[in-house]
Homo-oligomer: A and B are copies of this chain.
Amino acid sequence: MTRSTPAQDKPQSHHLPTTCPSVQALEFELAFLVRRLEAARRRFDFGLERAHYLLLILLEREDRQSVGTLAAQVNLDASTVTRQVAAMKQAGFVDKLDNPDDRRGGFVTITEAGREAANRTRQRRLDRVESAFRDWSEADRREFARLTAKYNDAMRDMFNEL
């Protein structure tokens, strides 16, 4: 399946205020990127809900976080994360602890089973990613990781500041 280059070859004859070509290319690519990533998630079964995996990652990095903190980091409504945490607790991947200083919320903590589940899912995902990027140069892989990280960081905070 061939690919026609995005915006470069389109002078945008309309009244578009001459946006920089790299921005035009990004607008196009990001639009489709979501679809690709969503499709990947739907087709491959990683054994753990993606939502759960993301939360477990956050808890691996920093245990004992509140529901609200977690929600902010995954850019979801707190009510959604509440349900996800409930399901994860049901599954034995996390527990809820009381915060003696503030009994409104409490902390979510990852269990040993949660760590193991996260590791299993990560391994499957690593295999996938590895095969998907097999014929990329190491330099490109590194660059893509670096830039995606940069984008992720900017977006995460941008949504929460608003």
Q: Which residues of A are in contact with B by a Cβ distance under 8 Å? A: 1, 3-4, 6, 14, 16, 19-20, 22-41, 43, 50, 53-54, 57, 61-62, 73-76, 119, 122-123, 125-126, 129-130, 132-133, 136, 138, 140-160, 162
Are A141 and B37 interface neighbours, CB within 8 A?
no
The complex places the Cα of A32 from the Cα of B73 at a distance, in Å, of 9
Known: A155-B40, A155-B132. A26 touches B57 (CB 8 A): no
Give the chain B neighbours of A150 by CB distance below 8 A. 136, 140
Are A26 and B133 interface neighbours, CB within 8 A?
yes
The complex places the Cα of A126 from the Cα of B20 at a distance, in Å, of 10
Are A159 and B34 interface neighbours, CB within 8 A?
no
Known: A34-B37, A125-B27, A159-B40. A132 touches B147 (CB 8 A): no
Give the chain B neighbours of A75 by CB distance below 8 A. 35-36, 38-39
Give the chain B neighbours of A28 by CB distance below 8 A. 57
> Could you name 16 residue pairs across A and B whose Cβ atoms are closer than 8 Å?
A1-B160, A3-B153, A6-B149, A16-B119, A19-B130, A23-B133, A25-B149, A27-B125, A27-B129, A29-B152, A35-B75, A36-B155, A39-B75, A39-B159, A144-B151, A147-B147
Of A27, A38, A160, most buried by chain B (CB within 10 Å of CB) is: A27
Are A143 and B143 interface neighbours, CB within 8 A?
yes
Of A35, A75, A125, most buried by chain B (CB within 10 Å of CB) is: A35
